[in-house]
Amino acid sequence: MEWEEKITQWIDEHKDEYTKFLQKLVQEESTRGQESKGQAVIVEKCRELGLTLDIWEIGDHKLFHHPEFHSDRSDFKGNPNVVGILKGTGGGKSLIVNGHIDVVPVGDEKDWTVPPFSGMLKDGKVYGRGTTDMKGGTVAILMAMDAIISLGIKLKGDIIFQSVIEEESGGAGTLATLIRGYKADGAIIPEPTSLKIFPIQQGSIWFRLKVKGKQAHGGTRYEGINAIEKAMAVMNQLKKLEDFRNKGITDPLYESVPIPVPINIGKIEGGTWPSSVPDLVVIEGRYGIKPNESVEDAKIEFVEALNQLKEIDSWFQSHPVELEWFGARWLPGYLDIDHPLVQTVSGSYKKILKTQPVIQASPWGTDGGILSQIGNIPVVVFGPGVTEKAHDFDEFIELKSLWAAAKIIACSMIEWCQIDE
């Protein structure tokens, strides 16, 4: 029996065990600042697999003073990073498999038809916050490693499993792994790609705009300048900028992505009284960065668009929009589709699913930009889970996609790291 068949058979025989493991992991609410219990479940599994463990709390001076550290959090105590290493015999390529333990808040629980942290199993799906983004991907990694270990397959290269915090808030956890010295010849991040292969991804940065007006009584509003009306002009300008930037993207991997690098308005605050003309509106949003674009170049285009407002409306000449870059940032990533890592994952996909994989650009950013741009590590984003259910209510993962991802990732590990005969 070929090792691909052995991997497939082993995973098929251990579905119940890993379904329960996923449920247990989802039942630990690992929202921001509460990651420790989820990491404890990961640590327990890593010890069962016999991995060499490194558990540490991030947040030393090297992290805080790194030029790519972008976070509004200054205290990470009690919520560690976890790295588990399957040491190779030597001579093969090494591989990082990186997953994040943090999940986004559940939002309004009234929208959920199942308890958000139940891990409920129904009709071949496990439900709960984090099932698809991305505890399902993390379980696929560990299941793949378990299969390799249990079958006695010895690899030449190291496999470095990472369960990091803070991905949803800018990637401080993955940045900390690089500072700690973890590097490899390649990396796979099993975010929910619907089993598509993403070799390129956009980055993003958060912005805050302050749009000024002039106060007046609502009964004589013509004596004031309504900041909300001026904010509408600003948002219209941002829409024009979005259209302009996306027209310049011709990469065929973006053919099925309606807006490759969106500009999203996520929060607006303005006004203090219904009968008063508001004199200030604050707009916060997310600015998409092209895969092969620097953050600084993207910023320049944004500033130029705001400066054009002065030509459209004379009010902005004496009352320019105030811009602040704040909070989280995700670096973009780019890997040629002919790169050996892309070919390795593609080949494993074809062996397991007997069909051609779909290769596309990622519609969002991941920690892959940190690994590729700062660590100079080739990165492929590939994993189970429905892309559209990430951050949504009634989040779920189809178990059949998890088993397929585990098989493909295991085969990719073997092909990349090489078997020691």
- Contacts of residue 143, defined as CB under 8 A and 6 or more positions apart, other chains included, come to 11, 14, 18, 402, 406, 410
Closest CA to 129 of 402, 395, 401: 395
Omega before residue 134 within 30° of 0, cis? yes
Q: How far is CA 107 from CA 5, 118, 327, in A?
A: 42, 15, 20
Contact 334, 294 (CB under 8 A): no
Provide the annotated active-site residues.
102, 167
Structure tokens at 96: 């990082």
- Contacts of residue 123, defined as CB under 8 A and 6 or more positions apart, other chains included, come to none
- Report the alpha-carbon distance of residue 353 to residue 384 in Å, rounded: 14
- Report the alpha-carbon distance of residue 114 to residue 388 in Å, rounded: 18
Contact 57, 80 (CB under 8 A): yes
Structure tokens at 314: 């004379």
- Report the alpha-carbon distance of residue 12 to residue 131 in Å, rounded: 20
- Contacts of residue 95, defined as CB under 8 A and 6 or more positions apart, other chains included, come to 157, 158, 159, 160, 184, 185, 186, 187, 188, 412, 413, 416, 417
Closest CA to 251 of 346, 337, 330, 189: 337
- Contacts of residue 26, defined as CB under 8 A and 6 or more positions apart, other chains included, come to 117, 118, 119, 126, 128, 129, 130, 131, 135
- Report the alpha-carbon distance of residue 21 to residue 87 in Å, rounded: 24
Buried b (16+ CB within 10 A) or exposed e, 249-288: beeebbeebebbbbbebeeeebeeeeebbbbbbbbbbbbb
Contact 295, 226 (CB under 8 A): no
Cα three-residue angle 284-167-260, rounded to 5 degrees? 60
